Amino acid sequence: MTNDAGSDTSEALLATAEDVPPGQFIVGVKVVNPARVPLHVAGWAVRADPGKTALVPVDEPIEGNEVPYDIPPGGTAIFLTKLQDAHRFAAGVQRAEGRPPHIVLTVWSGGRTYATKPLSPSLFSIGAQAAAPPHSVEPSRNA
């Protein structure tokens, strides 16, 4: 798993982003199976550490793979959700715990959970802008 935005991950996410509606931001995890046998991914989540509260995406994916999913040997899978949903989750955890959480992406397979490094807080500044209600504009009262 990676969230370092290396060349392969960046290219995959950029290609996926081209299929996402304009103005919609996504966050996701790319899972690589280097093994010689299929890797069964039972699920994935956005998790707040250290409390380990998790948001499990339940909507049909915007793009990417659905879970459960079997990744073939040498294959990859990408699991995505709306950044706005992840941001709202992180904000709720912060209100409940009184401090900003470290947000990681997790996948579970074969009874084990694998987590990325914490996501960059700057990523959530984009999510905050996207999650904010649209600005209202009052009609002009000039006669």
Domain containing 55: what range? Answer: 7-126
Give residue 141's pLDDT band: very low, low, confident or very high (50, 70, 90). Answer: very low
Please, which residues bridge with residue 43 across strands?
A: 108
Q: How many whole angstroms separate alpha carbon 79 and alpha carbon 38?
A: 17
In a domain, 56, yes or no: yes
CATH of the domain at 83: 2.60.40
Whole-number pLDDT of residue 1: 41
- Cβ atoms within 10 Å of 22's Cβ, excluding its own: 4
Domain count, the chain: 1
Please indicate, yes or no, if residue 134 is contained in any of the structural domains.
Answer: no
Q: What does the alpha-carbon distance between residue 65 and residue 67 come to, in Å, rounded to a whole number?
A: 7
Using a pLDDT cut of 70, give the percent of the chain over it.
70
In a domain, 132, yes or no: no
Q: Which residues have C-beta within 8 Å of that of residue 19, sequence separation ≥ 6?
A: 62, 63
**Sign of the alpha-carbon torsion through 8, 24, 61, 85:** positive
- Is 76 a member of any domain? yes
How confident is the model over 94-125, as pLDDT tens digits?
A: 999 999 899 999 999 999 999 999 988 777 66
Q: Which helix (H) or strand (E) holds 14?
A: helix 7-17
> Do the domain assignments include residue 34?
yes
Report the predicted TM-score, pTM, of the whole model to 2 decimal places: 0.73
Domain membership of residue 141 (yes or no) is no
Look at residue 13 and tell me if it is in a domain.
yes
Residue 31, domain member (yes or no): yes
- How do residues 16-61 score in pLDDT, each as one tens digit? 556 666 667 888 899 999 999 999 999 999 999 988 999 999 888 8
